Amino acid sequence: MNNKYTYKGNNYYVLEDKVKIQIDDVWVEGVLYTTDDCEYKFVRSKEEFYSKFKKVEE
């Protein structure tokens, strides 16, 4: 599975795409992602993630 994406010149890796995030009191589908050099995990709505991040073709 190719889970590598790029955004603003940085590489990110999707860890899970079956998560929920609450936005304005409404639960929506989300994406959990990280980078190689960061100890933190991040989450965005699927809509926002896939509109801003571009898949890296290998």
**pLDDT number for residue 1:** 54
Structure confidence at residue 45 (pLDDT): 98
Phi, psi of 17 (to 5 degrees): -120, 20
pLDDT of residue 57: 86
The pLDDT score that the predictor gives to residue 43 is 98
Residue 30 backbone dihedrals phi, psi, to 5 degrees: -135, 180
Q: Give the mean pLDDT per block of 10 residues along the chain (58 residues).
A: 88 95 97 94 97 92
